[in-house]
Structure 1
Amino acid sequence: MTDIRPASSLDAARFCAIYNHYVATTTISFEEAPVPEADMAGRIADVTDGGLPWLVLEIDDVVAGYAYATKWRARPAYRHAVESSVYLDPELAGRGHGQRIYARLLDELRSRGLHTVIGGIAQPNERSVALHERLGFRKVAHFAEVGVKFGRRVDVGYWQLLLAPQPGVTSG
């Protein structure tokens, strides 16, 4: 059975197990050292205390992945824009779980009145690009060689999704 629920600090250890795999073996994350459980718990608290969603995907009562949003920028004019992240247990990739939890995250963001969602994707990452584009994101930027990991320079692309318009706010 699959369930999606809000995250808590009790999920931090399992999130570390999922995330630290990507830290240690891929350029998907630009972190270079494993994230300790206490730091992950702090990250969860920072996101949720800031009024943004952090969701957990459970399959048969086991945490299989998570998705969350953070502020895009600190200045007040950016308050309707967020950056999104999604991570799955690597054993479960390619089965539609990422799309399921990401779609729920987008629903949560809409319900909170947010307008713009931005996904940064280290390149190459065909699976993440395909996931974002299936959900309606479109590529809006590409920065060459902005990261260095495992002794090589890494590009980052940005995909954007505009959520429902907000009353009283015009585009353009």
Structure 2
Amino acid sequence: MTDAPAIQKLWNLAILETLITFNSVPKTRLEVETAIESAKCMLVAEEAGQVIGYASFDQFRAGVGYAHTAEHSIMMDPDARGRGAGRFLMTQIEDEARTQGFHSMIAGVSRSNPMGEPFHAAMGYQTVGVIPQAGRKHDQWHDLVLMQKIL
């Protein structure tokens, strides 16, 4: 749990200042620790001893029928974007998902996040659907793009 405060800081920055996530309520330390403990995998990227990003995955939906489909989350420090750490984290969690027997990885990407779709496309994800007006934040509706990669 030594990375929990850094993960909490990055997560809450995304919640409060971006449209990367539709959540609008900051995460408590307990919520972050619970998320870390319950994830199938949670990895961090560090630079000069500081956490600059994290990625995690879990089963896409409950139930045996979804046992081989994962959904991931990735958050990067805005100052660390574009330097390869996000790509490294994605590669690592995809490798771990394969090791755990997952067949595909889902990304739920806010269409209002201008970096999300290009990043995932560059990582080999394909758009498989769009849910119009799936989330509401800052008094506006936002679309959710579903992207998938067969591992």
Structure 2 counterpart of 1:66, from 44, 49, 54: 54
For residues 76 and 25 of structure 2, the distance between their equivalents in structure 1, rounded to whole angstroms, comes to: 19
Point out 4+ residue stretches in structure 1 off by more than 2 angstroms. Answer: none
For residues 16 and 112 of structure 2, the distance between their equivalents in structure 1, rounded to whole angstroms, comes to: 17
Q: Which runs of 5+ in 1 are unaligned?
A: 1-8, 164-172
| TM-score for the superposition, normalised by structure 1 | 0.85
1:143 corresponds to 2:148: no
CA-to-aligned-CA distance 1:120-154 (integer Å, 9 cap, x gap): 00113231211111111100000111111000000
Q: How many residues were matched structurally?
A: 151
1:130 corresponds to 2:102: no
Structure 1 counterpart of 2:82, from 94, 112, 123: 94
| TM-score for the superposition, normalised by structure 2 | 0.96
Contact 1:118 1:158 (C-alpha < 8 Å) held by counterparts? yes
Partner of 1:24: 16
Quote the sequence identity (%): 28
What one-letter code is carried by the residue in structure 2 that aligns with 1:22?
Answer: A
Partner of 1:57: 45
